[in-house]
Amino acid sequence: RRSPVIAVARGVTLDRLAAIKVIHEQMALDPSFQARFQKEARAAASLSHPNIVTIYDFLEAGEQGSIVMEYIDGPDLSLRVAEHGPLSAEAAAGVGREIALALSAAHRRGILHRDVKPSNILVDPEGRARLTDFGSAKLEGLSSVTGTGTLVGTLDYLAPEVVAGTRGDARADVYALGMTLYF
């Protein structure tokens, strides 16, 4: 499976940087992946929180879809740890607090992230943690785009009840955050 490509662009009119997440051409032909990609854009765009990457727009050109989002000039948490080693207890607590606030905002809107992990947490130049990649998100009360029996998320961060096939809820996101902080 090929992942979407992230590119950086500068807007002509407003002269600001944006990140553009583009569906890989082969994945654009898969209607379920295209639907999931659009769902990510809608779910994330409905959220406004200082610890969630802002979505600006969803663009379509034929079969190709792109999400235009806020550019965060900083590494994801997995890269940060790989380059500089584990966070201090104080820094980890700060990341945990900020992502917990982001998840709380999403959960209040009925949105489950379902893939909280270090690579989906960006750290901006001021050190603020920002949750991104709502590609596995589920809106409570709505049917999922993924197939029945399909695990959604990254195995190392999935709550045991999700791995066992029980429907996950907001607690599974909190569990994934705990595993991320352990990382």
Average pLDDT, the chain: 84
Dist CA 50 CA 97 (whole Å): 12
Strands (E), the chain: 5-10, 17-22, 55-61, 64-70, 111-112, 121-123, 129-131, 138-139
pLDDT of 96: 97
Question: Catalytic: which of 76, 115, 133, 173?
Answer: 115
pLDDT at 5 over 60: yes
Q: Are 55 and 69 in contact (CB under 8 A)?
A: yes
145-173: pLDDT as tens digits: 444 455 566 788 988 888 888 778 899 99
26-57: pLDDT as tens digits: 776 777 777 777 776 787 888 999 999 998 88
110-129: pLDDT as tens digits: 899 989 999 999 999 999 99
Would residue 30 show up in a list of annotated catalytic residues for this protein?
no
pLDDT at 1 over 60: no
Between helices 89-108 and 170-182, what is the axis angle to 10°?
160
